Amino acid sequence: MLVSEVMSQQTQIDRVVPKFQAFIQAFPTPRECADASLSDLLTIWQGLGYPRRCRNLHEATKLMVRSHDAQVPASLDELLALPGIGEYTARAVLAFADHVDVGVVDTNITRVFARVMNTPLGKRETQTIADSLVPMGLSWEWNQVLMDFGATCCAARSPKCAQCPIAASCSWHIHGGEDPAPASAGTSKPQARFEGSNRQARGKLMKALVAGGVMRTNALHVMALENQTDRAEMIIESLLADRLIVDKNGMLQLPL
């Protein structure tokens, strides 16, 4: 459950499924994941983007081995203490894997609450509302229903208010006015263009490194940044700082 949630962060589910299956087949337990090299993990991860998530997951499994008997922790505080695990992921694991009565807040659920109350909501306020509404013993079902409702009926664009089963209780539908959802914390914002971005250049270099080492002097060509030396060096330095690559005497490689 933790692997799927981390993989799904900012990534479409149809891209996640085959990678998740391959990852779990290769590393079925936290211990096996922790014992593997980061290079092995990144090889499977390649194509999902945001490789910091992979590094954080690797570090998280190492902490599980050291401090949690090689098991995924079962408390909110312990989950939040894992590298790269935030409020949403921690609560999703508790609700969907362990059936703990906690509210899971994603962009869809935030949008529903903001519209029903007809006011922009802060992150902490939204979480308090979510936790207070979970029916005892039904956290899995409740959170899934809310997410699906927000994604399909109370959608960001063209919400189906005429078909909404709670329209009579929705203050935004009743009173109208400006949609409060976009001004709420945690609602999705348009993502920067991928084509020509640093994310794309980083991805090209990481893909090449999966196949083998790349001379640092050739990295500009790999990233298609031949005429942007400063930008290419900044990207390489950011990958080195994130410990996602290593420089061995001018040869860029995935870490062992």
Q: How far apart are CA 214 and CA 59, in angstroms?
A: 25
**What tokens does 133 get?**
């509404």
SS (H, E, C) 157-225: CCCCHHHCCCHHHCHHHHHCCCCCCCCCCCCCCCCCCCCCCHHHHHHHHHHHHHHCCEEHHHHHHHCCC
Tokens standing for 64?
């599980």
Please give the helix or strand (H or E) that residue 95 lies within, else none.
helix 87-96
Under 8 Å between Cβ of 10 and 49: yes
Residue 32 makes CB contacts below 8 A (sequence gap 6+) with 26
* CA–CA dist 38, 157 (Å, integer): 40
Instruction: Find out whether 162 and 168 touch, Cβ atoms under 8 Å.
Output: no
- Tell me how crowded residue 26 is: count the other CB atoms within 10 A of its CB: 14
CA atoms of 238 and 242, how far apart (whole Å): 6
Q: Catalytic one among 5, 125, 195, 237?
A: 5
78 is a catalytic site residue: no
Annotated active-site positions, please?
Answer: 5
